[in-house]
Amino acid sequence: MAASPPAGWYPQVDGTQRYWDGLAWTHHVSPSAGGAETRTDAAPANREQASRRMPTMSREQIAHDLAIAYLNNRYGPEVTGEFSVTADQDWSGDSPRVTDVTGSGEVRTENLPRVDKIRMDRVEVRTGERGFFGLGPEKVSTVEVDSGEFEVDPVFKNMIRDYFEAYFRFVELLERSA
């Protein structure tokens, strides 16, 4: 897992600087690299100003959330199988109510990336043996060794690529609408 960026002031799309505490974005913003610090959660002066105020999330955070929603809709789990539900109702009284619900069946999910398999690398190893009568080049054997890293399947690679494409597109659209 990649290390989190160090705490500090980072530039935002709107030209301000925002403070990252090493774990999350804070509400502290600075108009420019050397300007005075302000807070994004300050109360608006009047109702009109409150209705026009941008959300306290940055455009980058909004774009990230939209990109995640896009990925969920595109790559979300595909559920297959059969499942049945039965319910008993109690009709006495003013309105019927459900008293017992039971269900059974088999459900499978697909389309989720595999991220728990260790990647194996192929390595060529010289065997020390030679051809007929010890002549010719030394023989080579191919073996698989544990890479110490997790394998990334094609679905996950596509998800990563699509996330960045969607993220940058949403940032662009949000900048145009500002």
Number of domains in the chain: 1
Residue 154 belongs to a domain: no
75 contact partners, CB below 8 Å, separation of at least 6: 111, 113, 155, 158, 159, 162
Cα 83 to Cα 79: distance, rounded to the nearest angstrom: 11
Cα 18 to Cα 31: distance, rounded to the nearest angstrom: 9
Which residue would you say has higher pLDDT here, 1 or 23?
23
The boundaries of the domain holding residue 16 are 1-56
Residue 62 has pLDDT above 80, yes or no: yes
Residue 2 belongs to a domain: yes
Instruction: Judge contact between 27 and 42, C-beta under 8 A.
Output: no
Q: What's the confidence (pLDDT) of residue 176?
A: 87
How many C-beta atoms surround the C-beta of residue 62 within 10 A?
Answer: 15
Cα 20 to Cα 169: distance, rounded to the nearest angstrom: 24
Residue 92 belongs to a domain: no
Q: Tokens for 149?
A: 């890293």
Q: What's the confidence (pLDDT) of residue 43?
A: 52
Residue 177 belongs to a domain: no
Residue 172 belongs to a domain: no
Residue 44 belongs to a domain: yes
CA distances from 58 to 39, 62, 126, 173 (A): 13, 6, 56, 14
Residue 161 belongs to a domain: no
pLDDT tens-digit profile of 124-145? 888 878 777 777 788 888 888 7
Q: Tokens for 115?
A: 């991220």
Residue 7 belongs to a domain: yes
Lowest mean pLDDT among 30-34, 54-58, 141-145: 30-34
Q: Is the pTM of this model over 0.75?
A: no
Based on its alpha-carbon atoms, the radius of gyration of the chain, rounded to whole angstroms, reads 29
The identity of residue 33, as a single letter, is A
* Most confidently predicted of 29-33, 88-92, 100-104, 165-169: 165-169
